[in-house]
Amino acid sequence: MHASLMDLIAWLGVDPNFVQQLINGLTLGSIYGLIAIGYTMVFGIIGMVNFAHGDVFMLSAFIALIFFLVLTTIIGIGSVALALFIVMLIAMVLTSLWGWALERLAYRPLRGSFRLAPLISAIGVSIFLSNFVQVAQGARNKPTPPMLPDVIPLFERDGYVVALSYKQLIIMLTTIVVLAIFWFVVQRTSLGRAQRACEQDRKMAALVGIDVDRTIALTFVLGAGLAAIAGTMYLLYYGVVNFADGFVPGVKAFTAAVLGGIGSLPGAVIGGLIIGLVEVLWSAYFSIAYKDVAAFCILIIVLTFMPSGLLGRPEVEKV
Amino acid sequence: MAASARLPAGAVSAAPEPPRPAPGFADALRDALYAALITLGLSIPLLALRTEQGPNGLVLEPRWGLVAACCGIVFVGRLLLRLLGLRAVPSRRSMAARGAVTTRAEPERQSGFALSALLGPVFLGIAVTFPLLAYLSAGGLTESRYWVDLGILILTYVMLGWGLNIVVGLAGLLDLGYVAFYAVGAYSYALLATTFSLSFWICLPLAGILAAFWGILLGFPVLRLRGDYLAIVTLAFGEIIRLVLINWVDVTGGGAGISSIPRVTFFGIPFTNDETGFLGWMRWLLGWRDGAQGSLGWLFGPEGPTFSPMHRIIFLYYLILVLALITNLVTLRLRRLPVGRAWEALREDEIACRSLGINTTSTKLTAFAIGAMFGGFAGSFFAVRQGFISPESFNFLESATILAIVVLGGMGSQIGVAIAAVAMVGGPEMLRNLGFLSHVFGSGFDPNEYRFLLFGMGMVLMMIWRPRGLISVREPSVVLRERRAISGSHVKEGHG
Amino acid sequence: MADVAAQAVLTVDHLTMRFGGLVAVSDLSFRCRGGEITALIGPNGAGKTTVFNCITGFYRPTEGMMTLRQPAGATFLLERLPGHEITARAKVARTFQNIRLFTGMTVLENLMVAQHNGLMRASGYTAGGLLGLPGYRRAEKDAVRKAERWLERTGLVDRADDPAGDLPYGDQRRLEIARAMCTDPVLLCLDEPAAGLNPRESHDLNELLLSIRDRDGTSLLLIEHDMSVVMEISDHVVVLDYGVKIADSTPEEVRRDPRVVAAYLGVEDEEVEQVEAEVLT
């Protein structure tokens, strides 16, 4: 298989560096996509930008870090992969609890109110969370012990080895599995139906007996759970986390959600992948300094021509 | 740590149980127990185990006592709340049935109208006499510096709030990147002054024009966008400007910023301690020349007026006061002009605007441009005051703060924005002075660490307290017979 | 025929509007004569509002031509004008089926916004107004006076300083008409003006519309479901069904037209049976 892939690549004349960057970009894009779903889901159901979502993601990375240390140094689990899996589950549970508590505290009292009030509240929560983590955990970068450093060399050309690291493999596989489960939840379960009903018309959903408050709370819980997976993956990929790390990935994921068409779940994933790819390819071929500028410019250009994003429903104003 | 424990406390105070007239002790106890358990869940990893850098990587430092204290505080607090029948967040269920859509009735607040009419002159009076008040209460010119600096800071945000109010409050266009125009103004002045040695008084209008130009530039791609699409694009625009400022090192000095920006002059006369400076001219004007005694000796003493760096600071204070008042007057006037009415109409209903022959494109662009222009003025003031600028001063937190000031003030209300600016800027500043708390919490307690934590919580609580802002009534721009305030519940917030 | 065309304020020729595969309006031609009230009627979903949206620039028609001829002689091809210029230059004003007032602004302010373009010029595109030049103050006073006149005609003058959102439904409808009239239109398009009005209000509305036709010389084009309104005030009726014109004549003739009756009752006999069969199964 290796040989044939190598032949194919050679035949296509593809730059091996490009293939490598593609792999890196898709990995990063997976993380963005997972966060972006949280934005898009909450927006879809209550029409609100949960600005604190990036910080929930950062919080989950901290939870993952702490439990990883607990498992490896205190309990002494030898297998990093097993430890990661347990850590991910714990982080999902605890981050979901945070998501639930934040919805209860900061957003539910503002439901049905002035549109900008929840946005400001969410910005307040975002500021609160990052400073809470700073106060509780300190302002320094928190590096993890080295995790899964091995790589799988895919092929080699002109002395350039294209490799897929175990980390990248785990991140992409996890994303695919999680998305498949998530897709099932949204499409096939009563929760998913309730969510879609609330998206269409919250009052009507309440009238036909859907518990709207519970559905919205569960949406926040689901979003936080996905953010926790992204947080664990982020920690695994970069091996370091800081209290201020919520903002930039949060904004990028929000960008991804809007790019894909906010409210659309596949759009969020596609948007995430595009942002990840643009960022990585731009850094590889042009300049690292302007990678974020490139991502934002893509956003502005796409929205200029497609005002509701790639897969978003165009907002038809009834006249 | 008590501060962080309050979050879970509040989290449960809006608990799902339907309100009961007189909660029994057992109920309250169970409820408080739940609250404490949730607090435990929330604080388990982040509070309980602090990561510290050890010799071989991170080590965990347990702090279970802290967690226990938090849970205890939440438990007791919640129990007391329940027993006293209070709810930190009042239940706003419109229907008793579970799952009912929670909507919030906005009470009419006609009283706010009369209040704002009264507050204006009071505010203006305090603002004009503030340096004097600071001088008298601090007991000296140099001693009053902290207060005058704080006054300058607050007024800068008042001006920024008023500028953004045009875009968000009047035209209803959500702008999350307003700080970009503040940055454009600051860098315009810094670059023009350091490379071409232009005076502040020439750069100030130039900075405003450049910022307005950037406002239009931002306006074009976002014309068709609505709501949250507009929000993310404006945010992205703000970030792009900041990233370019960081990375375009040749021009902007990168992250190190631009230093030794020329200071402000008294319309050309520098604030220096010599004959040709502001003081020299003042002495000359008052007759204190060639050793002779001039006028106002009773005020200045036998030596006459002496040099103090505070002269410049006080001048800066009045400069920003005048700039802010200009912003206010222009906005008030614009509201009564067709363009201002078109902005408000645009906020209310864009389609109806179009059907009345209003060019919505140019109306939106003027809102962006004029809002940006005031941001630019404020920016060049910031640069001349600091003498040093770097991209760090123009991050998203600034945009968020300014937007929060506008929303908390009550969109469109000028006096509300001023009050909100005092609260949002002055409030955290006051937290610096809570050093005495270290007697309570031990010597390691630094209130500065908690400033932004409390700031974020304050934003949430203020929104829950008044979602439509402090002053939510709207004043009509033209009156036929009788001036009546318009309740905030009619006023729309715009699509953009 | 040339004579009639010369009198036409609005000439719609071969108007077609497709949304994807759906043909909402198909090859529609009709005229609105100057100084007349033309009614556009038809069953639900016949494409009436789509025609309105094409005329007033909210939709760009797939095919066809809409010519507006002002009494002074200027002509405009509406499909080529940007949306806001249809009101600003060609002088076509409209109201909406679900009222679109500026609810947070006072009744008077609503009427002032309608005079935006004139006031904008008077204020020297804001610059003069900002400096407080007397020209603008005069223009503003005139605008207030004009608004007051319209408030008197619509019986809303006592509510001038109340927020538009506070008005009862019938008053809101009248205010929307007054607002549209403040743009000095040559053609006023009304989308179901009588919907939701009680008989008394409906009668007042008829009076208002007739006075607009007779006193202001404005031609009217209205969509209406209320047949009593249509029969009572319109000079000319165009009937649409499934996007196709099926009648175009005086109210009396339209009332007798069998195709119109069929369209309103919905159907021919065999179709009735078919529908019944579907309902029963």
Chain C, nearest residue to B346 by Cα: C102
CATH 1.10.3470 is right for the domain spanning A21-305: yes
Question: Is residue C268 pLDDT above 80, yes or no?
Answer: no
Number of Cβ atoms within 10 Å of the Cβ of B326: 14
Give pLDDT, residue C3.
Answer: 44
Identify the CATH number of the domain in which residue C200 sits: 3.40.50.300
pLDDT band at C277 (very low <50, low <70, confident <90, very high): low
* Angle at CA of residue C43, ends C38 and C48, nearest 5°: 50
Nearest-angstrom CA–CA distance, C81 and B201: 45
For residues B48 and B144, state if they share a domain.
no
For C99, C192, C217, C226, C233, the CA distances from C202, given in Å and listed in that order, are 16, 11, 21, 9, 12
Nearest-angstrom CA–CA distance, A230 and A95: 11
Tell whether B240 is within 8 A of chain C (Cβ): no
Q: Using a CB-CB distance cutoff of 8 angstroms, which residues of chain A are in contact with residue C24?
A: none
Q: For chain B, how many structural domains are there in total?
A: 3
pLDDT band at B90 (very low <50, low <70, confident <90, very high): very low
User: B416: exposed, middle or buried (C-beta count within 10 Å: 0-12, 13-18, 19+)?
Assistant: buried
Question: Is residue B188 pLDDT above 80, yes or no?
Answer: yes
* High-pLDDT (> 90) share of chain B, %: 34
Chain B, nearest residue to C131 by Cα: B333
Residue C140: half-sphere exposure toward Cβ, Cα within 13 Å: 22
Question: Hey, are the CB atoms on B359 and C58 less than 8 Å from each other?
Answer: no
Give pLDDT, residue B114.
Answer: 62
Number of A:B CB contacts under 8 A?
Answer: 236
Tell whether C99 is within 8 A of chain B (Cβ): no
For residues B330 and B211, state if they share a domain.
yes
- Give yes or no for a contact between B328 and B169, defined as CB atoms under 8 angstroms apart: no
Give pLDDT, residue A200.
Answer: 82
For residues C69 and C194, state if they share a domain.
yes
For residues C218 and C267, state if they share a domain.
yes
For residues C152 and C273, state if they share a domain.
no
| Position B493 in a domain | no
- Give yes or no for a contact between B258 and B387, defined as CB atoms under 8 angstroms apart: no
Report residue B154: phi and psi, to 5°. Answer: -60, -45
Range of C57's domain? Answer: 1-91+184-281
Q: For chain C, how many structural domains are there in total?
A: 2
Q: Using a CB-CB distance cutoff of 8 angstroms, which residues of chain B are in contact with residue C162?
A: 484
Nearest-angstrom CA–CA distance, C40 and C230: 9
Q: Using a CB-CB distance cutoff of 8 angstroms, which residues of chain C are in contact with residue B480?
A: 108, 144, 147-148, 151, 157, 160-161
Taking Cα atoms as reference points, which of A46, A98, A45 lies closest to residue A224? A98
For residues C148 and C158, state if they share a domain.
yes
pLDDT band at B98 (very low <50, low <70, confident <90, very high): very low
For residues C227 and C256, state if they share a domain.
yes
Give pLDDT, residue B91.
Answer: 43
Tell whether C102 is within 8 A of chain A (Cβ): no
Q: Using a CB-CB distance cutoff of 8 angstroms, which residues of chain B are in contact with residue A258?
A: 228-229, 232
* Shortest Cα–Cα distance, B372 to chain A (Å): 19
Radius of gyration for the alpha carbons in chain C, expressed in angstroms and rounded: 20
| Position B457 in a domain | no
Taking Cα atoms as reference points, which of A256, A262, A316 lies closest to residue A46? A262
For residues B250 and B383, state if they share a domain.
yes
For residues C65 and C189, state if they share a domain.
yes
Nearest-angstrom CA–CA distance, B209 and B212: 5
Question: Hey, are the CB atoms on B463 and A43 less than 8 Å from each other?
Answer: no
* Shortest Cα–Cα distance, A29 to chain B (Å): 18
Nearest to A124 among B46, B57, B460 (CB): B460
For residues C174 and C189, state if they share a domain.
no
Q: Using a CB-CB distance cutoff of 8 angstroms, which residues of chain A are in contact with residue B40?
A: none
* Shortest Cα–Cα distance, A114 to chain C (Å): 14
Question: Is residue B2 pLDDT above 80, yes or no?
Answer: no
The tokens for B471 are: 């002053």
What is the overall mean pLDDT for chain C?
A: 86
Query: What is the β-pairing status of strands C219-223 and C37-41?
Result: parallel
Query: What is the β-pairing status of strands C244-249 and C75-77?
Result: unpaired
Chain B, nearest residue to A110 by Cα: B464
Nearest-angstrom CA–CA distance, C138 and B338: 14
Nearest to B342 among C85, C116, C157 (CB): C116
The tokens for A150 are: 């091995």
Higher pLDDT, residue B372 or B494: B372
* Shortest Cα–Cα distance, C147 to chain B (Å): 10
* Shortest Cα–Cα distance, A189 to chain B (Å): 19
Question: Is residue C98 pLDDT above 60, yes or no?
Answer: yes
Give pLDDT, residue B113.
Answer: 56
Tell whether C159 is within 8 A of chain B (Cβ): no
Give pLDDT, residue C280.
Answer: 52
Taking Cα atoms as reference points, which of B17, B117, B33 lies closest to residue B75? B33
pLDDT for B111-145, tens place per residue?
555 666 778 888 899 989 888 888 888 888 888 88
For residues C136 and C212, state if they share a domain.
no
Question: Is residue B350 pLDDT above 80, yes or no?
Answer: yes
For residues C190 and C65, state if they share a domain.
yes
Nearest-angstrom CA–CA distance, C160 and C169: 16
Tell whether C121 is within 8 A of chain B (Cβ): no
Please list the ranges in chain A whose pLDDT falls under 50.
1
Chains in contact with C, counting 3 or more C-beta pairs less than 8 Å apart as contact: A, B
Tell whether C95 is within 8 A of chain A (Cβ): no
The tokens for B387 are: 């003498």
The tokens for B182 are: 């503040």
| Position B153 in a domain | yes
Nearest-angstrom CA–CA distance, A37 and A230: 11
| Position B44 in a domain | yes
Nearest-angstrom CA–CA distance, C38 and A218: 55
Nearest-angstrom CA–CA distance, C55 and C67: 9
* Shortest Cα–Cα distance, C82 to chain B (Å): 9
Chain A, nearest residue to C94 by Cα: A319
Taking Cα atoms as reference points, which of B165, B238, B261 lies closest to residue B395? B238
| Position B476 in a domain | no
Question: Is residue B3 pLDDT above 60, yes or no?
Answer: no
Nearest to B467 among A114, A128, A258 (CB): A114
- Give yes or no for a contact between B28 and B5, defined as CB atoms under 8 angstroms apart: no
Question: Hey, are the CB atoms on B236 and A134 less than 8 Å from each other?
Answer: no
Each domain of chain A, given as residue ranges in start order, spans 21-305
Q: Average pLDDT in the C92-106 region?
A: 92
Give pLDDT, residue A235.
Answer: 93
* Shortest Cα–Cα distance, B233 to chain C (Å): 25
For residues B220 and B237, state if they share a domain.
yes
Nearest to B484 among C85, C162, C183 (CB): C162
ipTM at complex level: 0.88
* Angle at CA of residue C182, ends C180 and C188, nearest 5°: 40
DSSP per residue, C140-202: HHHHHHHHHHHHHHTT-GGGTTSBGGGS-HHHHHHHHHHHHHTT--SEEEEESTTTT--HHHH
Give pLDDT, residue B109.
Answer: 44
Question: Is residue B454 pLDDT above 80, yes or no?
Answer: yes
Which residues are CB-contacts of B18 (< 8 A; sequence separation ≥ 6)? B91, B93, B96, B98
* Shortest Cα–Cα distance, B124 to chain A (Å): 28
For residues C176 and C237, state if they share a domain.
no
Question: Is residue C40 pLDDT above 60, yes or no?
Answer: yes
The tokens for B139 are: 């007991």
pLDDT for C189-242, tens place per residue?
999 998 888 888 888 999 999 999 999 889 999 998 777 788 888 999 999 888
Tell whether C88 is within 8 A of chain B (Cβ): yes
Range of B74's domain? Answer: 2-83
User: A76: exposed, middle or buried (C-beta count within 10 Å: 0-12, 13-18, 19+)?
Assistant: exposed
For residues B140 and B280, state if they share a domain.
no
Chain A, nearest residue to B247 by Cα: A289
What is the overall mean pLDDT for chain B?
A: 82
Q: Average pLDDT in the C170-184 region?
A: 93
Give pLDDT, residue C156.
Answer: 92
Give pLDDT, residue B435.
Answer: 64
For residues C61 and C199, state if they share a domain.
yes
